[in-house]
Structure formats: C-alpha cells, structure tokens
Amino acid sequence: MKNIKNIIFDFDGVLIKNTKILLETHRKTLGPFSEENFRKLFNGNTAEELEKHKIKNMNLFWDEWKKILENWIIDQETLNFLKNNKKNNFIISSNKEYILNKILENSNIENLFLDVLGSETHKLKTKKFILLKEKFNLNFKETVFITDSLGDLKEASEFPELKTIGVTWGVHCRKNLKKGIPDFISDSWDEIKKILN
C-alpha cells in the first residue's frame, strides 16, 4: 500500500481491545445478547442495528460504558505504533467523543490526532468520512481506514478510492471481515507497519 499519508482509525476493537467487556456491557444494560447476535450488530451500522432491536434505554448503556472506559489507557504496542507512524491520524467512531478524548488524554496522545469524530457528530460513518474529507481536503487515494468490523468496511466501500485494513483482534474474525473486501486483513500492528511502509 504505497503513498499513504492519512490514517483514519476506528476506535473500539482497534485502538483499544475491549470487545469482551463491550459484550458484557450490552448484556448488563441492553438485554440478553448471545455472543453471535452481539457480533451481528457490527455487520451493519451499530446505531441502526440497535434501533432494529428496538432498544430504548441507551442512556443506561452509555453511563456504564463511560464508567468502564474513563480510566482506560491504550496498550503499549498500540501506543508504539501511533507514536512511530508519521501519517496524519484521525478517529471516526460510534463511541462518544468525550470518552474517546478522555482515553487519548489518559494515554498522553491527544496531540497525535488531527480530529476525533464520534457519535455526537453523526451516527453514520459515511457522513463522518465526508466531513473529514472536506475539512482536511483529504485525498482518499492516500488514505487508509483501519477497522475491526464488517459494518465499517461496508460504509467505507461507498468511497472506492479509500483504502481499508481489517484487523482481527476486535469484534470480527478474518472470515467475516473478508465479506467487506478490505485491501488487507491484519493480525498485528507490526504487520500494518510493514503494509504502510
């Protein structure tokens, strides 16, 4: 993957490895999810998938999720990747911006990102890709989006020039990620470093 200048990161399941606790939090606050049904939420846009489940008490989820994440620190391997890559970094997430910014602050890397767009900005990632593109005049031929979910890959596929990498340490396995036809699927930051250089 040559000439990549910009990286757009998904957050949960990519920059933090929190899939297991996310499942537990869904069960605790939203109802009895099987692991299979939980993972299926991420085959599409999660906000829209949750609406299909007619879940109304999202406040309970967000209160709990904030409690769990507000002291979270990004792991060392991920921090090393972020500190050593010389790209323009962005975050597009369905998590809340105040939670994302808190974790970046806890990890002392808030200065490594040019912008952080969460659910307060818009529920659709497609919309947030367009916002970033316009704000920073991004050339998507020089931009890669890194995510752990099929739903995100589907949203990214609306921008054919945008490159994509699926990572296997989050919510979806290699087989499911493949359905979104990413340019690469990776098992480690070391591998991603090699792909980008």
CB 195 within 8 A of CB 186: yes
Distance of CA 184 to the CA centre of its chain: 16
Q: Which stretch binds Mg ion (CB under 5 A): 60-68, 70-78, 127-135, 143-151?
A: 143-151
Tokens of 149: 């979910």
**Which C-beta is closer to Mg ion: that of 139 or that of 188?**
188
Interface with Mg ion (CB under 5 A), residue from 9, 12, 138, 196:
12
Q: Which residues pair with 30 in a beta bridge?
A: none
Q: Please give the torsion angle defined by the CA atoms of residues 158, 37, 7 and 14, in that order, rounded to the nearest 10 degrees.
A: -170
Residue 19 C-beta: closest distance to Mg ion, Å = 8
The closest of 8, 1, 15, 9 to 169, measured between CA atoms, is 15
Determine, following the binding rule CB under 5 A, whether residue 151 of this chain makes contact with Mg ion. no
Return the DSSP state at 55: -
Q: Which stretch binds Mg ion (CB under 5 A): 13-21, 29-37, 48-56, 64-72?
A: 13-21
Residue nearest to Mg ion (CB): 13
Determine, following the binding rule CB under 5 A, whether residue 155 of this chain makes contact with Mg ion. no
Determine, following the binding rule CB under 5 A, whether residue 10 of this chain makes contact with Mg ion. yes
Q: Which residues lie near Mg ion (CB under 5 A)?
A: 10, 12-13, 148
